[in-house]
Amino acid sequence: MRYDRAVNIEDLRAIAKRRLPRFVFEYLDGGAEDELTLARNRDAFARLNFRPRTLVDVARRDSSASLLGGRASMPAVVGPTGLNGLSWRDGDLALAKAAAKAGLPFAMSTVSMSFVEDIAREAPGRLWLQAYVFAERAVTDGILRRALAAGFECVVLTSDFPVAGKRERDLRTGLLPRQRFTLATKLDMLMHPRWLATVATRRPRFVNVERELGPGRDVNAFVGHGMFDPSFAWDDLKRFRDAWPRKLLLKGVLRADDAERALAAGVDGLVLSNHGGRQLDGAISGLDALPEVAQATGGRLPLLVDGGVRRGSDIAKAVALGAEGVLLGRAPVYGLAAGGEPGVAHALAILADEFDRTLALTGCAGVADLTPDLIIRS
């Protein structure tokens, strides 16, 4: 099947699975340990049912929304994902371009395989940067300075990564911890000559991290020896807030008390997230945390949700429960792996069509009509 014949995100996932070597697909598709949280992210949406309004004039519908003070064509962000260049050459740039053309913000990962300056130059749009706090704080600080100079409007600070989760699929293929691939993985690469010719000519590199480390430093050694800072805490967040002059989102919040502390620290919004099921297995979903956090924050902070979004109706469910929008993780990357930038555009078009259709079928003329009374839990 060609990417443009896909009728939903699951079709794109199937194409991606066929096109990619196993180690790349497992990285994209997998989660931590028994993948209970990975499954829970989808289950959380499946447990929500609509109570649609009837006989509502929905002839003129507006899917657009305000996201962090700016307009978006629908309440969604193309969220941060790592190693996208393994799915398609210059994958981060393809995601950013497709997001801009679709009228959506693009959140770039710190562990992107493209430079922040290249993304800003070649894909002008609403650009956000997802930031990890590295043990060598100077690396984080340097990337942030460059993002500020390049015009990124927002930093999405990840709080749920004091150490890496145990991603057993990646351990089996040899992608983790340091790209020491098994013989089976190497043979599998040879079985995908088209991927090998177009993608594998470039070794996966965290280019923004490499630039900050400087010449002579081995980025793999940096990754393998305590890359992330497990000491980063609330006082550090306040200093981070003081240092970054633009919008700041805190990603990884799943509790109301943490949301209240983040509000006191001066963040501009929260992303309710379990890192796509790739960190703590057994964690609740961002969607399940949403009602409690929304009640605690009382509309004082924009709330975004990620994890498990595969349908436009999922976006509607999150917004109805109090989210300003969602971050799209795997869904656009399945499109990327299936067809490059046009594949991403197709994935976003599928979600936009489904979201608009859900508005009509629930009796909503616009995003403001998505309210909690539309939702019942099974």
Residues annotated as catalytic are 275
Pick from 111, 112, 102, 79: which is nearest to 309 by CA? 79
The SS3 call for residue 218 is: coil
The structure tokens 């981060």 sit at 92
Q: What's the CA gap between 86 and 23, in Å, rounded?
A: 10
Is the separation of the CB atoms in 282 and 242 below 8 Å? Answer: no
Q: Which helix (H) or strand (E) holds 184?
A: helix 183-190
Check: CB of residue 2 under 8 Å from CB of residue 343: no
46 is written with which tokens?
A: 């499946």
Q: Which of 282, 280, 293, 301 has its CA nearest to residue 253?
A: 293
Task: Answer yes or no: are the C-beta atoms of 117 and 150 closer than 8 Å.
Answer: yes
Task: Count the neighbouring beta carbons within 10 Å of the beta carbon of residue 2.
Answer: 10
